[in-house]
Amino acid sequence: MPDHGWLLDPKRCIECRACEIACKQWNGVPAGINVRYRRVEIREYGRFPDVRVQALSLACNHCDNPLCLKACPVKAIWRRTEDGSVLIDQERCVGCRFCEQFCPYDAPQFNAQLKKMQKCTMCYDRIAMGMEPACSSICPTGALRWGDWEQVRHQGVAQVEGFNTPSTTRPRIRFVTAGWRQARTGLPRPDSPPAAGRNANV
């Protein structure tokens, strides 16, 4: 099975947070514990009257060079060879929060109730069943998409304003910055017929 990654088109994001909700629902993340595997961040830039707003749907980027994995003193963080997802072994995790300190994208989060670190799993269980991650499957505008990394990595750009430099970690996410007329991707269009399993059981 190939490695996978994200393709995000910020101009399509309408801040509906359906990706956040689908993620919480599928992964059983309780509300009120300040843990969000995926989060929509609204960022404002410039000075009046030249201001602009950017919405970014962010989660773990399952980097090619994950600093969280290297920082973990108990080897609780590992990579699945089946799909390239970077995971935290909850049995091994001691909640030291080293991974949180080393991740430039704030992906690992401390669950104060469990005293464990948690983060996006890329819905590896859904992938194993032939479905895509809950977040991208539910996005109504196609702002967030997911696919074969070899296909995604050649699209868009590696960094947008406010996103930490990807040169060290090599995150598996690309950003579409072209205008509406210029933007072209090889992934399914938002208005194309759903693939098998898409939007199912979210």
Maximal C-alpha separation, the chain:
52
Query: According to the model, what pLDDT value does residue 52 have?
Result: 87
**Distance of alpha carbon 86 from alpha carbon 134, whole angstroms:** 17
How many other C-beta atoms are found inside a 10 Å radius of the C-beta of residue 111?
A: 17
User: So what's the pLDDT on residue 196?
Assistant: 37
Domain 4-175 class, CATH top level: alpha beta
22 by Cβ neighbours in 10 Å (0-12 / 13-18 / 19+) ranks as buried
* Mean pLDDT (the chain, rounded): 89
Distances (CA, A) of 171 to 91, 115, 152: 26, 27, 12
Higher pLDDT, residue 135 or 52: 135
HSE value, Cβ hemisphere, 13 Å, CA-based, for 200? 11
Of 44 and 99, the structure prediction assigns the larger pLDDT to: 99
Contact 63, 171 (CB under 8 A): yes
Q: What is the pLDDT of residues 137-150, one digit of tens each?
A: 999 999 999 999 99
Residues linked to residue 118 through DSSP beta bridges, in sequence order: 109
Q: What percent of the chain has pLDDT over 90?
A: 74
Q: Would you mind telling me the total number of residues written for the chain in this entry?
A: 202
86: its two tokens: 């970077």
In this predicted structure, the answer to whether residue 193 has a pLDDT above a threshold of 60 is no
Lowest mean pLDDT among 23-32, 116-125, 178-187, 192-201: 192-201
pLDDT digits (tens, 9 = 90+) for 56-109: 999 999 999 999 999 999 999 999 998 899 999 999 999 999 999 999 999 999
pLDDT for 58 equals: 96
> pLDDT band at 195, cuts 50/70/90?
very low
Indicate whether 121 pLDDT > 80: yes
Q: Which residue has the tokens 């938002």?
A: 190
One-letter amino acid at 121 equals T
Mean pLDDT of 165-177: 95
